[in-house]
């Protein structure tokens, strides 16, 4: 007895809806660039008119002065120290606060909501604002930069790891409750070991971010290579600026390579 071949119905397509969505986004983007209706004014012609001003600077920027390298060593080491101290301090503080901000590890809703509200406020303030205020309070130096990185890292780690804990399966925690364990015991013996790879990934990620961010924080006086970068930029020494940018790029790539190696070992 022969059976007819199974013919699957054609897969439904949503091309018309996709085209409409793309057109709507394009139209909305175009409208935001029209000053007549309150949009921003994009003067693309300025790129052509002012190219003669930027061409010599760009040529100078493409010729980094390697003789300037010895002056960058000290500030770059300070930047790395700031990045490491800020990430390490945030790593220590983030563990209890993250467990406090996740619902599986903190069933007490009022304290959890209050902590999440504080974390959202911390994350909503730009790092340059933190750095500017701390420099005004504490003076120029590395301390305002370290505190800024600490607050920046803390917000990222608590937000991302607590959300990952919320979305994970927690059968092991239910087993701990069934065995009569307290919430503190369950967090210490089950939730924390399960969450440590998440913490480690975020700590390494914030360390990478800190090197980039600290280069910018120095512009407002928060120490590190950014102060030297702003100084050379103020003197229009773009060959020195090019060397500093190249050095930051190399350091960030090296840290990223080391972070990936550590992640593979932790996986």
Q: What is the pLDDT along the chain (267 residues), one digit of tens a residue?
A: 556 666 666 777 678 888 899 999 988 888 887 777 767 777 777 777 777 777 777 787 788 888 999 999 999 999 999 999 999 999 999 999 998 988 888 888 898 999 999 999 999 998 889 999 999 998 888 899 999 999 999 999 999 998 888 887 666 676 667 677 777 777 787 778 888 888 988 898 898 888 888 878 888 888 788 888 888 888 888 889 889 989 988 988 898 888 888 878 766
DSSP one-letter string for the chain: ---PPP-PPPPP--HHHHHHHHHHHHHHHHHTT-GGGT-----THHHHHTHHHHHHHHHHHTS--GGGHHHHHHHHHHHHHHHHHHHHHHHHHHHHHHHHHSTTT---HHHHHHHHHHHHHHHHS-HHHHHHHHHHHH-SSHHHHHHHHHHHHHHHHHHHHHHHHHHS--HHHHHHHHTT--HHHHIIIIIHHHHHHHHHHHHHHHHHHHHHHHHHHGGGT--SHHHHHHHHHHTT-HHHHHHHHHHHHHHHHHHHHHHHHHHHHH-
Residue extents of the structural domains in the chain:
67-266
Give the fold, CATH level 3, of 67-266: MetI-like fold (1.10.3720)
* Maximum Cα–Cα distance across the chain: 90
């Amino acid at each position: 007895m022969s059976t007819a071949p199974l013919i699957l119905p054609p897969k439904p397509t949503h091309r018309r809806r996709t085209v409409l969505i793309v057109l709507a986004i394009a139209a909305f983007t175009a409208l935001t660039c029209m000053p007549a209706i309150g949009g921003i004014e994009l003067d693309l012609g300025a790129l052509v008119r002012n190219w003669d001003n930027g061409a010599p600077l760009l040529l100078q920027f493409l010729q980094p002065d390697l003789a300037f390298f010895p002056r960058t060593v000290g500030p770059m080491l300070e930047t790395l120290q700031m990045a490491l101290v800020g990430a390490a301090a945030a790593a220590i503080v983030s563990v209890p606060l993250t467990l406090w901000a996740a619902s599986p590890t903190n069933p007490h809703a009022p304290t959890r909501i209050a902590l999440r509200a504080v974390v959202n406020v911390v994350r909503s303030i730009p790092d340059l604002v933190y750095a500017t205020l701390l420099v005004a309070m504490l003076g120029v130096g590395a301390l305002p930069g370290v505190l800024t990185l600490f607050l920046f890292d803390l917000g990222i780690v608590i937000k991302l790891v607590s959300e990952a804990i919320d979305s994970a399966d927690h059968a092991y925690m239910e087993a701990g409750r069934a065995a009569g364990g307290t919430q503190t015991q369950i967090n210490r013996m089950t939730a924390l070991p399960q969450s440590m790879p998440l913490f480690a990934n975020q700590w390494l990620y914030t360390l990478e971010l800190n090197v980039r961010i600290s280069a910018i924080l120095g512009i407002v006086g928060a120490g590190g290579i950014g102060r030297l970068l702003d100084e050379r930029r103020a003197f229009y020494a773009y060959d020195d600026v090019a060397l500093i940018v190249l050095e930051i790029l190399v350091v960030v790539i090296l840290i990223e390579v080391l972070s990936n190696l550590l992640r593979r070992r932790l996986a």
